[in-house]
Structures are given as structure tokens and as C-alpha cells.
Amino acid sequence: MFTSLQGKTVAFLVAPEGVEQIELTDPWQAVQEAGGTPRLVSTRSGRVQAFNHLDKADTFAVDETVTEASPGAYDGLVLPGGVANPDILRTDDRAVAFIRAFFDAGKPVAAICHGPWPLIEAEAVRDRTLTSWPSLRTDIRNAGGTWVDEQVRVCDRDNAPNVLVTSRMPDDLKAFDESLVTEFAKGPKQ
């Protein structure tokens, strides 16, 4: 059984199109099962289009846009992958500012697959060790981070301003979900 997230609200930030469905729905369900409240935040209102790799999948209702959402109302942030989703987010200044606010507040952040791309734009990978889809390896290194090929990587709480949970791919979702729920239950770094 997961650690409790009772009373905690977690933002899932996605672009209007291109999120990998399983990387959205699986952690979402883990947050719910742990008693937390997941909320979908996007750069546009309406619905977001998820994908199963390159094929269109389901659509999901947006709870708030990044201009409406206050990072202070959330206890943590999840950045699902897919290739297009994080690529779109990293070029949107409002989305990057939303992400940066979680780091500035010491709140936990989790990113899977290509999800770390917007972390580079938010200047949040320097001096951190993280994992991702292998093609981001050079981008992370160029941004001052250390890339490792591990199922899940949790940045040490003692050596960083906040905790960062990262994983490589959908095959890592079980470990990713367990780690993000455990770390998010601990709350912001004091």
C-alpha cells in the first residue's frame, strides 16, 4: 500500500496535445489511490489529447490553465512524457514559470520519459542527478546535470532545494509511482 497523500493536491502539467497517456493516467491513479487529489493543468482550457506512442488515444478535461493555476495551491508537480508534450511545454514561458515556482518553493516534482525537457528550460537540472528517456542524456548534461540510466532516480533531499523524482519510460511506471507518492507525502523541503 502507498504512503498516504490524504489532503494533498498534485498538479499534472501537460500540453494541449502529445502527452503519453499511460504516463498521465498511471501516476494519476497512484495519487488517487494514495488519497490525493490530482488536477490537470495545461496551457489551454478545454481538453487535452493524449497519445499511445504515435496514435491518438483519449482526451482529458483540463481543470485549470497555467495562467489560472497557483503553484501555491499544489503540494507537488508531475510532468508526464511523450515527445510532443514536454517539447511544447518547454517553449511556453508560462509553463516554464509554473514549473520553476515549484522548485523555488521547495515542493517535490516528478518527471518521466521526455518530461525533464521543460526542467532544463526552468533551469532546474544543474548539479542534479536524474534519469529520462535516453535521448535527453546530452541535453541534461549540457544543462549541468548528471544523467544516469536507472529505473527511477530520486534526488537526495539533503543536497537539493527540493526533491526530484525521475524515470526513463513506461516500463518504469511502478517504481516511478511508488517513489513519487512516497516523496510527495513528505511534502516541501524545509
The model's pLDDT over 128-169, given as tens digits with 9 standing for 90+, comes to: 999 999 999 999 999 999 999 999 999 865 566 789 999 999
Q: From the candidates 40, 50, 113, 165, give the one annotated as an active-site residue.
A: 113
pLDDT for position 187 = 85
Q: Is residue 3 part of a domain?
A: no
Asked whether residue 190 carries a pLDDT value surpassing 70, the answer given is no
Q: Is residue 4 part of a domain?
A: no
Q: Is residue 92 part of a domain?
A: yes
What is 22-82 written as a DSSP string? HHHHHHHHHHHHTT-EEEEEESSSSEEEEEETTEEEEEEE-SEETTT--GGG-SEEEE---
DSSP-derived pairing of the beta strands 164-167 and 47-52: unpaired
Per residue in 101-129, pLDDT tens? 999 999 999 999 999 999 999 999 999 99
Q: Is residue 2 part of a domain?
A: no
Count of the separate structural domains present in the chain: 1
Q: Is 113 a catalytic residue?
A: yes
CATH number for the domain harbouring residue 166 = 3.40.50.880
pLDDT for position 117 = 97
Burial (CB < 10 A; 0-12, 13-18, 19+), residue 93, is: exposed
pLDDT for position 158 = 56
Per residue in 49-61, pLDDT tens? 999 999 999 999 9
Per residue in 11-25, pLDDT tens? 999 999 999 999 999
> Which of the 8 DSSP states describes residue 6?
T
pLDDT for position 162 = 81
Q: How far apart (Å, rounded) are the C-alpha atoms in residues 111 and 114?
A: 8
What residues make up the domain containing 120? 9-186
Q: How far apart (Å, rounded) are the C-alpha atoms in residues 71 and 136?
A: 26
